[in-house]
Amino acid sequence: MSAQIISGTEIAARIREELTAKVTGLKRDHGLTPGLATVLVGDDPASHMYVGMKNKAAAKMGIHSRQITLAADTSQDELLGVVAGLNADPDIHGILVQFPLPDHLDEARVTEATSPDKDVDGLGPMNAGRLMTGSGEFFAPCTPAAVIEMLVRSGHDPAGRHVVVLGRSNLVGQPLANLLLRKAPGGNATVTVCHSRTPDLAAVARTAEILVVAIGRPEMITAAMVAPGAVVIDVGTHRVDDPASEKGYRVCGDVRFDEVKEVAAAISPSPGGVGPMTITMLLSNTVASAARSAGS
């Protein structure tokens, strides 16, 4: 029997309805419109597409969106000056500097320069530290937060279950493991993190009740690597050549979807899974930042 499909598109739509209501309440009760600033450096087509999608989604929810586009040869000091200006702007509650940046720019310095109160990507050292230690309010990185929301809202709460995370990046694997371990809603799981040095990765993956795949390799995960009845969340997104397609390519994830769905109890697709949810969590963090600034 085929698996339940965990649609990130559908879950994201429900969350955006909830966020739209919160935005309306902030405007009505506090005269405050949440503001998101996006900073683009250079002319990378994928980056322009992603930022455009974020700005469009923000506008639909009533969030003020400001895009700042800088030349590819912008200096480090110029970029840091833009970030400093946004940190000081009371109309901006979230700052997103779109990565990757041109090679001559230091992404870590930009992340560190972003105010923790406006770091809605959740990648800065202050938010990462608070997530790790469980102390104080923090913004969770958007993709890991998306995974948690998808699991909980689809009826697969990680609490008390064995979750195997394939991938240990600072963007997904490590913060996701920390979220899953927290004594908080969406947490309380037993977590195993695998990576390229894990012996017999397939055997470890088969122990998972919930398998989250952020390995970065197209369709690496086969049905033989998934325990019957497991829940599978595919974080990967890849464009691979496909002569049979009109476009000459197709989009896939890290999981062989058609194969694994016949084994798993539930699975997220790619595209249509974690992607739309990641944007939604960025907007959620922006609304939360605005609410904090209003004391709400």
Structure token digits, residue 71? 């030349």
**Of 22, 54, 118, 261, which one is the catalytic site residue?**
54
Q: Which ranges in the chain belong to alpha helices (H)?
A: 8-30, 45-60, 76-87, 107-113, 125-133, 142-153, 173-181, 201-205, 257-260, 274-293
The per-residue pLDDT for 82 is 98
Per the annotation, the verdict on 54 as an active-site residue is yes
C-alpha 106 chain-centroid distance? 22
Catalytic-role residue among 22, 118, 121, 174: 121
Q: Which residue has the tokens 């110029």?
A: 78
142-275 shares the fold of 31-115 = yes
For this structure, is 121 an active site residue?
A: yes
- Which pLDDT value is given to residue 165? 98
CB-neighbour burial class of residue 89 (10 A; exposed 0-12, middle 13-18, buried 19+)? middle
Rounded to whole angstroms, how far apart are CA atoms 101 and 99?
5
- Residue 136 has a pLDDT of 82
Q: Which residues of the chain have pLDDT under 70?
A: 1
* pLDDT for 63: 97
Question: φ, ψ for residue 232 (rounded to 5)?
Answer: -120, 125
Q: Give the active site residue among 22, 98, 234, 254.
A: 98
**pLDDT for the residue numbered 244:** 85
* Res 194: pLDDT: 97
- pLDDT tens figures, 64-75: 999 999 999 999
Q: What is the pLDDT of residue 145?
A: 98
CATH class of the domain whose range is 142-275: alpha beta
- Write down the CATH superfamily of domain 31-115: Leucine Dehydrogenase, chain A, domain 1 (3.40.50.10860)
Does 89 participate in catalysis according to the annotation? no
- In the chain, domain spans: 31-115, 142-275
**Residue 32, CA distances (Å) to 15, 58, 60, 195, 294 in order:** 20, 15, 17, 44, 8
pLDDT for position 116:
97
